[in-house]
């Protein structure tokens, strides 16, 4: 079982998990931005979002590049097959990613409210669309809709029950993660009213997403039998862990313990993703190509593991340091721009809205 191909596949899937959690929280903040209301009413929430994801969003999205590179290098034929089949959702997801990143940066330095509104709407809308289409891609792979030789039907490969459900789940988990993170951020900054609003949002989104996840199991039984079999056997404990994590998060949010809720939320989302991975093991393209069949050259697989090892040693600590800094009191104080704090770095929002 512990072959080189398996190790590369595991490293690849670890990237998918990290992207789902970190990139997901990032995308999800767009959902909350979109639904924050008018410029005045939503200013506090949007300010918080700007502060929370500002330093980390670029790093969070490198996970996607990591996943793509690992995929095409480790399992090149299956990558080409997916690309020639799923190009419609891929292009749509890509447009979302491009618009979102660009307009987030533009909004931050926008001069007028009109500009900020335009960039803000583009940012928020594309933040919802991108995870939806990425989710449909996952669903298409998991339900065996990508033929090994590629060139599958560009529409029916993803406009089908399982992909559409996974798309919805993807949007939901992103919004749930972001809601939980933002609630904790708001509470830590002492913005009680904002934290209260976000708490309610997260509870609603979390409950709805949980319901969709389990509702999705109904069509999956017939639509994706291989995945279903995996989910109900091997992956059953992982799915149960996800359910427990979700329920625990809702309970923690309900009782106002926002800090620990972040960890249970991450557990819930990572577990549902892991459930997908374990469920479709050993297929790369379900019913079409297994990990062993799809694997590229052995020397390349070994090279990839070296790259992953170096990444773990070099990128890991750096990423940890970034996250540590963004959570540290010093970085959060300065963001308040309280007279004494160096106005230099503070990104202006809070001062305007009295945060």
Partner 1 sequence: MDATQLLAQATDAAGSPLATALAAADPAGLMPARQQMALSLGWHIILACFGVAFPAIIFVMHLRGIRRNDQTALDLAKRWGKVSAVLFAIGAVSGTVLSFEMGLLWPGLMGTYGDVLGLPFAFEGLAFFLEAIFLGIYLYGWGRMPPRLHLLMVVPMAITGVIGTYCVLAVNAWMNVPTGFDIVDGQVVDIQPWAVLFNAHTFMQFAHMWVAAYMVAGFSIAAVYAVGMLRGRRDRHHRLGFMVPFAFATVAALAQPFVGHLLGDGLDERQSSKLAAFELAETTDDGPSPLRIGGVLIEGEVKGAIEIPYLGSIISMSSLEPVPGLDQIPDEDEPPVNITHLAFQTMIGIGLLLMAAVALYWFLRWRRRDLLDNRWFLRLMAVSGVLAILAMEAGWIATEVGRQPWIVYGVMRTSDAAADHSAALWGVYGGSVLLYGGMTAGAVIVLRSMARRWRAGAADLPSPYGPQSPLAADGPAEIRECGDEREPGKGDEAAAKEDAR
Question: Which 5-44 positions form the footprint of partner 1 (CB under 8 A)?
Answer: 39-40, 43
Per rule CB under 8 A, is residue 135 in the interface with partner 1? no
Q: Render the burial of 237-255: b for 16+ CB within 10 Å, e for the rest.
A: ebbebbbebbebbbebbee
Least distance between partner 1 and beta carbon 222 (Å): 29
Phi, psi angle pair for 86, to nearest 5°? -100, 35
Which token pair is 86?
């799923």
Among 102, 121, 196, 207, binds partner 1 (CB under 8 A): 102
Q: Render the burial of 260-272: b for 16+ CB within 10 Å, e for the rest.
A: ebbebbbbbbbbb
Per rule CB under 8 A, is residue 121 in the interface with partner 1? no
Per rule CB under 8 A, is residue 112 in the interface with partner 1? yes
185-214 residues near partner 1, rule: CB under 8 A: none
Phi, psi angle pair for 253, to nearest 5°? -65, -40
Q: Site map for partner 1, 41-60, x if CB under 8 A?
A: --x--xx------xxx-xx-
Site size toward partner 1 (CB under 8 A) is: 92
Q: Which residue's CB is nearer to partner 1, number 87 or number 254?
A: 87
Q: Are 136 and 164 in contact (CB under 8 A)?
A: yes
Least distance between partner 1 and beta carbon 28 (Å): 18
Per rule CB under 8 A, is residue 157 in the interface with partner 1? no
Q: Site map for partner 1, 290-309, x if CB under 8 A?
A: ------xx-xxx-xx--x--
Which token pair is 66?
């990591």
Largest CA distance in the chain: 63
Per rule CB under 8 A, is residue 108 in the interface with partner 1? yes
Least distance between partner 1 and beta carbon 132 (Å): 16
CA distance 338 to 52: 18
Least distance between partner 1 and beta carbon 268 (Å): 26
Tell which residue, 250, 206, 198, has the closest CA to residue 32: 198
Q: Which residue's CB is nearer to partner 1, number 2 or number 112?
A: 112
Beta strands in the chain (DSSP E): 283-285, 289-290
């Amino acid at each position: 079982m512990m072959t080189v191909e398996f190790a590369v596949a595991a490293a690849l899937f670890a990237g998918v998990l990290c992207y789902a959690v970190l990139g997901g929280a990032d995308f999800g903040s767009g959902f909350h931005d979109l639904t924050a209301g008018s410029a005045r009413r939503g200013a506090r929430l949007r300010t918080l979002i700007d502060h929370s994801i500002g330093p980390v969003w670029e790093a969070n999205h490198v996970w996607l590049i990591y996943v793509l590179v690992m995929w095409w290098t480790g399992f090149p034929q299956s990558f080409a097959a997916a690309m020639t089949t799923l190009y419609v959702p891929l292009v749509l997801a890509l447009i979302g990613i491009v618009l979102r990143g660009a307009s987030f940066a533009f909004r931050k330095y926008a001069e007028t409210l009109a500009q900020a509104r335009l960039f803000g709407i583009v940012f928020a809308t594309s933040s919802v669309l991108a995870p939806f289409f990425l989710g449909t891609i996952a669903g298409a792979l998991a339900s065996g809709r990508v033929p090994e030789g590629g060139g599958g039907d560009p529409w029916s490969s993803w406009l089908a029950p399982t992909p559409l459900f996974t798309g919805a789940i993807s949007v939901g988990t992103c919004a749930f993660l972001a809601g939980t993170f933002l609630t904790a951020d708001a509470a830590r900054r002492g913005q009680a009213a904002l934290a209260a609003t976000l708490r309610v949002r997260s509870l609603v989104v979390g409950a709805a997403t949980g319901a969709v996840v389990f509702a999705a199991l109904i069509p999956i039984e017939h639509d994706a039998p291989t995945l279903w079999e995996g989910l109900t056997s091997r992956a059953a404990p992982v799915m149960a862990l996800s359910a427990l994590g979700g329920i625990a998060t809702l309970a923690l949010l309900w009782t106002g313990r926002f800090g620990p809720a972040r960890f249970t939320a991450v557990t819930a989302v990572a577990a549902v993703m892991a459930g997908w991975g374990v469920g479709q093991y050993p297929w790369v393209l379900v019913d079409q190509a297994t990990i062993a069949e799809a694997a590229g050259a052995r020397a390349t697989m070994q090279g990839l593991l070296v790259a992953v090892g170096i990444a773990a040693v070099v990128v890991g600590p750096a990423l940890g340091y970034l996250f540590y800094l963004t959570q540290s009191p010093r970085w959060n104080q300065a963001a308040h721009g309280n007279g004494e704090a160096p106005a230099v770095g503070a990104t202006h929002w809070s001062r305007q809205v009295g945060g």
